[in-house]
């Protein structure tokens, strides 16, 4: 079959689009020293946007609202820095104590395994490791302290970018309307507003769920007697921002530390495991999905891919902001006609499943109506079921909103 000129042009556009995407990702990776603070400042701005809107509704002068928010962010940065320094100092001092605990646990596990498998005399799991894990732990903690200056530089850039975003937040929409043609100005403004509100809602709900997770991990450590309860609470709060993998990492780490501290008292280890796993299951699989609903409507597979991709491009900061970044890309693709298939492919697809079910229910209903007109009488039960299926399948419930439907649902 001979390809038409339009088909060849289409293939060329796809090829050029792939090359442009790879070039953009390469540029983002090369410029990460500037882009990471800029993107983090933008997400800080989205996180504080509801508070700023509330202050505006209270008719508080802008200078006071900006000063209050900047002071609040400075307090968070200083508190986080103080917590990191104190925690690293405490862990460095406790390494020898935990080293003895790990050796005792290794002996206990080796003795239990030797009852089932013949092990050489004096063999242990730690002896298999080719490195001195105690020295490695100390050097890792020391490297964190050495990187504190670079982290401070990033935080300073975030703080400065955030200040200028606050100062210009009321002029963004007017500038967008003036910068683009009138026919597209309102569409661009609505798209920008939807991005800010959608990502802002996601960040706030995620922060609340993460805070509740941190509080429950802290209480678990206090109740069971696990050392450093504040550390486990803060780590649970931070790692909960990394989708899927973060909750697994912090839960595994907490249970491992319970093994190191409490073994051979398996009861305390069991309580720590049950409480931490239950916390993640209830908050991560029940409460968080109910609160978020279809807010982002991203495929779970796409979330994992974006986690790996942004982690490769920007490291750990990229993993933390991978989900909102992918959601922003989805909204942008939905507003560009040629890229709308990309927005559909990376969505969860629930709306299309509901549409398919609705169409099938309508087809069944019409077939039964046709039989009724021809003298065939379907049962009342079948008619009621068809009508019920049609009513239950709500096409717009939690859907990703395409540009032409922005006005239908906020």
Q: How far is CA 362 from CA 357, 367, 368, 393, in A?
A: 9, 9, 10, 11
Question: What are the structural domain ranges in the chain?
Answer: 14-167, 350-408
User: What per-residue confidence (pLDDT) applies to 138?
Assistant: 62
Condensed to tens digits (0 to 9), the pLDDT of residues 280-290 reads: 888 877 777 66
Condensed to tens digits (0 to 9), the pLDDT of residues 76-127 reads: 999 888 888 888 777 777 777 777 777 777 677 666 666 666 655 555 655 5
Q: Helix (H, G, I), strand (E, B), or coil: what is residue 347?
A: strand
Condensed to tens digits (0 to 9), the pLDDT of residues 217-258 reads: 999 999 988 888 898 999 999 888 887 788 888 999 899 888
User: What per-residue confidence (pLDDT) applies to 214?
Assistant: 92
Q: What is the separation of C-alpha 33 from the centre of its chain, rounded to a whole number of angstroms? A: 22
Going 231 to 234 to 238 to 239, the CA torsion angle's sign is positive
Going by C-alpha positions, the residue among 227, 235, 228 that lies closest to residue 251 is 235
Strand-pair partners of 347: 298
Query: Residue 385 class from Cβ within 10 Å (0-12 exposed, 13-18 middle, 19+ buried)?
Result: middle
Alpha-helical runs (H) found in 263-379: 266-282, 288-292, 300-314, 316-320, 322-334, 340-345, 350-373
Most confident of 54-68, 328-342, 387-401: 54-68
Going 244 to 247 to 253 to 256, the CA torsion angle's sign is negative
Going by C-alpha positions, the residue among 297, 229, 299 that lies closest to residue 261 is 229
Provide CB contacts within 8 A for 165, sequence distance 6+: 41, 42, 45
């Amino acid at each position: 079959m001979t390809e038409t000129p339009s088909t060849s042009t289409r293939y060329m556009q796809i090829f050029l689009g792939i090359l442009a995407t790879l070039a953009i990702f390469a540029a983002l990776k090369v410029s990460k020293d500037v882009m990471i603070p800029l993107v983090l400042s933008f997400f800080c701005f989205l996180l504080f946007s509801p508070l700023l809107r509330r202050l505006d509704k209270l008719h508080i002068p802008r200078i006071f609202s900006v000063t209050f928010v900047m002071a609040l962010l400075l307090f968070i940065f200083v508190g986080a820095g103080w917590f990191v320094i104190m925690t690293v100092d405490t862990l460095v001092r406790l390494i020898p104590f935990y080293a003895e605990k790990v050796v005792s646990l290794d002996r206990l596990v080796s003795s239990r395994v030797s009852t089932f498998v013949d092990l050489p005399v004096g063999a242990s799991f730690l002896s298999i490791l080719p490195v001195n894990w105690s020295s490695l732990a100390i050097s890792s903690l020391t490297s964190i302290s050495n990187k504190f200056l670079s982290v401070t530089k990033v935080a300073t850039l975030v703080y400065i970018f955030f200040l200028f975003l606050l100062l210009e937040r009321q002029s963004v929409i007017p500038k967008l309307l003036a910068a683009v043609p009138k026919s597209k100005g309102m569409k661009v403004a609505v798209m920008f507003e939807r991005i800010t509100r959608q990502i802002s809602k996601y960040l706030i709900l995620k922060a609340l769920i993460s805070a509740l997770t941190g509080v429950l991990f802290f209480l678990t450590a206090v109740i069971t007697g696990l050392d450093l309860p504040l550390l486990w609470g803060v780590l649970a709060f931070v790692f909960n921002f990394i989708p899927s993998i973060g909750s697994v990492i912090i839960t595994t780490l907490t249970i491992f530390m319970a093994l190191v501290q409490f073994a051979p008292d398996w009861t305390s280890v069991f309580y720590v495991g049950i409480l931490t796993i239950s916390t993640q299951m209830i908050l991560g699989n029940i409460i968080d999905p109910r609160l978020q609903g279809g807010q982002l409507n991203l495929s779970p597979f796409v979330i994992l891919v974006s986690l790996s991709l942004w982690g490769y491009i920007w490291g750990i900061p990229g993993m933390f902001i991978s989900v909102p970044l992918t959601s922003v890309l989805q909204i942008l693709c939905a507003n560009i006609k040629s890229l709308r298939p990309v927005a559909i492919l990376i969505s969860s697809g629930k709306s299309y499943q509901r549409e398919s079910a609705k169409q099938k229910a309508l087809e069944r209903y019409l077939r039964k109506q046709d039989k009724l007109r021809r003298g065939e009488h379907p049962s009342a039960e079948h008619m009621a079921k068809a009508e019920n299926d049609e009513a239950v399948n709500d096409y717009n419930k939690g859907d990703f909103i395409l540009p032409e439907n922005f006005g239908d649902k906020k």
